[in-house]
Amino acid sequence: MLESCYKISYTILFLALLNLQLAGQESLKQVVRGKVIDNVSGASLPGANIFLLNSDPPLGAATNEDGQFELLNVPVGRESFKISFIGYQTLILDNIIVTSAKELVLKVELEECVITVGEVKIVAEYQKDQPLNSMALVSARSFTVEETNKYAGSYGDPSRMVANYAGVVSSRDNRNDIVVRGNSPMGMQYRVDGIEISNPNHYSALGTTGGPVSLLNTNLLANSDFLTGAFPAQYGNAMSGVFDLKLRNGNNEKREYWGQLGWNGLEFGLEGPFSKKSQASYMAAYRYSFVDILYKLGLNLPEVAGYQDLSFKFSFPTKKAGVFKLTGIGGTSSIKIADSDKDQDKRTFDTHGEDIHTGSRMGVLGLSHIYFFNSTASLKTILSVNASEVTNKVDTFSIQSPGHFTWAGEESSENKYSFFTVFSKKFDAKNTLDAGFSFDHYQVNYADYQYYKGSYRHFTNSTGSFNLYRTYVQWQHKFSNKWTSYFGGQYLFFPIE
């Protein structure tokens, strides 16, 4: 009887392994979808052709009246795609990763040819040194989401990733401050979907642009731009560099979920359509500190860094009223370094100890709307709120005075309410005009204190509000497919009462 059971078990194991081997031999397939648009005006390009290179049999599709396409049964792995449209430069996307877990959604931007003669065909392969912003001609390059996970020491953080570029370094290993050609990290400007934000990092300090852990979630990012100089007029308030980040839209046809555990914590995300009758979509992701999870599970750690963040994007395209998008990023972080929990010989100082409590909060919410007057003219408007807060508290104690005494601290906050609008007009293949205006209203409260000579003193104690006005115009003229000129200027007005 026992021998028969062993035979049955071996037979079941053999069949399971055989089935696993046969399943492994089946080539996995995935759906690749996307939209093809003009890289300047953003107008859809119906009738564009998309082909999967090196496929047998050939696999291709054409965009519909909304510029959307869908390729079925695309093999999983690294694939290359060719996108072409009459009057536009043919684009080849090389080494695009197609995974089995999620559908691949591409946003393809084609550049119109200035000169087209007979059967001459111009092929423009994807070049990383060419930015997505057509107005940025030099000292700018685009980067993919894949790069943020591929570069050594990036930890899935775009700010750490760009430290691999020429002329760019980080200030130190435990922070992601960006130093561009020796300029101050405070001169960096961050934008997310056109919204200018202050410091997209956990454990941040007001007036800085870096931190140990990024708030930006690479699972939500699309291809973005990094500029290190010669900025277009729209970035006129930047001194060192510009991170022009883009969030992708959620999958508007299929619900998808993901979860992962890594350096940036435990993460859960979801995306999908609001309904099958519209193109509206949602996308959201939540992360929680991995170290804090270990601490709550009972692991004894000397210091605990706790943080969590939420990022989301809702997209509502309409047939006549344009496209509405709601974008939000927010997070909290705190850390406690307590000498009171350590033995006396392991404390920071020989004569006394310190308990340091540090925390920060940051949130940004933006509502954007883009309206297309026609295929060559559009108006984009953004309303946004950006809030940040920093708190610090230092308690001291000694053997003679074991009770805690508050020695120093900080409670500072900064709120910014912004309005931005830009009109874009593409006159023809050679000439493009952008004209924009922005208004920022700041409400600030900077306060720190320290016990000095028998009393608490404020070294910084400032509360107030102020406004910042900016307007710009920029013009691009293409002499040919290889020669382009740019003219632009910005006027900035900062009234001081």
SS3 content of the chain, % helix, strand, coil (to 5): 10, 55, 35
Q: Which two tokens stand for residue 283?
A: 């996308």
Please state the domain extents for the chain. 24-126, 253-466
Q: Is 211 exposed, middle or buried (0-12, 13-18, 19+ CB in 10 A)?
A: buried
Longest dimension (CA), the chain: 96
Tell me the backbone φ, ψ of residue 85, rounded to 5 degrees.
Answer: -155, 140
Nearest to 417 by CA among 198, 239, 112: 198
pLDDT of residue 5: 41
pLDDT of residue 115: 66
What is the number of H-type helices and E-type strands within the chain?
4, 28
pLDDT of residue 48: 92
pTM for the full model?
0.82
Q: Which two tokens stand for residue 180?
A: 């561009």
pLDDT of residue 26: 54
Q: Which two tokens stand for residue 480?
A: 């040919």
C-alpha span between 114 and 206 (Å, rounded): 46
Q: What is the DSSP string of 46-89?
A: TT-EEEETT-SS-EEEE--TTSEEEEEEEESEEEEEEEE-TTB-
C-alpha span between 321 and 373 (Å, rounded): 10
* 3-class SS of residue 341: helix
C-alpha span between 137 and 399 (Å, rounded): 64
Q: Is 144 exposed, middle or buried (0-12, 13-18, 19+ CB in 10 A)?
A: middle
C-alpha Rg value of the chain to the nearest Å: 27
Q: Using alpha carbons, list the distances in angstroms from residue 50 to 27, 195, 236, 254.
A: 22, 32, 37, 21
* 3-class SS of residue 488: strand
Evaluate whether 197 touches 182 at the Cβ level (below 8 Å): no
**Residue 237, Cβ neighbours under 10 Å: how many?**
18
pLDDT of residue 300: 75
Evaluate whether 325 touches 368 at the Cβ level (below 8 Å): yes
CA triplet 336, 448, 302: central angle to 5 degrees? 10
The third-level CATH classification (topology) of the domain covering 24-126 is Immunoglobulin-like (2.60.40)
C-alpha span between 331 and 390 (Å, rounded): 12
pLDDT of residue 177: 87
Q: State which amino acid sits at residue 87.
A: G
Enclosing H/E stretch for 145: helix 145-150
C-alpha span between 185 and 240 (Å, rounded): 7
Evaluate whether 335 touches 291 at the Cβ level (below 8 Å): no
Q: What is the DSSP string of 411-433?
A: EEEEEEEEEEEEEEEE-SSSEEE
> Which runs of E-coded beta strand occur in 352-481?
352-372, 377-398, 405-426, 431-452, 455-478
Q: What is the DSSP letter of 233?
A: G
Q: Is 341 exposed, middle or buried (0-12, 13-18, 19+ CB in 10 A)?
A: middle
pLDDT of residue 192: 93
Nearest to 65 by CA among 83, 50, 48: 48
Enclosing H/E stretch for 24: helix 2-25
C-alpha span between 274 and 478 (Å, rounded): 41
* 3-class SS of residue 216: coil
Q: What is the pLDDT along the chain (497 residues), one digit of tens a residue?
A: 434 444 444 444 444 444 444 444 457 888 898 899 988 888 889 999 999 988 888 899 999 988 889 998 899 988 889 999 998 988 888 888 888 878 888 888 888 887 655 544 444 454 555 666 767 666 677 777 776 766 666 777 888 888 878 888 887 777 888 888 888 888 889 999 999 998 899 988 888 888 888 899 888 988 888 888 888 899 888 888 898 999 999 998 889 999 988 777 899 999 999 988 888 999 999 999 988 888 888 877 767 788 999 999 999 999 889 999 999 999 999 988 887 777 777 777 777 788 888 899 999 999 999 999 998 999 999 999 999 999 999 888 877 777 788 888 999 999 999 999 999 999 998 999 999 999 999 999 999 888 888 888 888 888 999 999 999 999 999 888 888 898 999 999 999 87
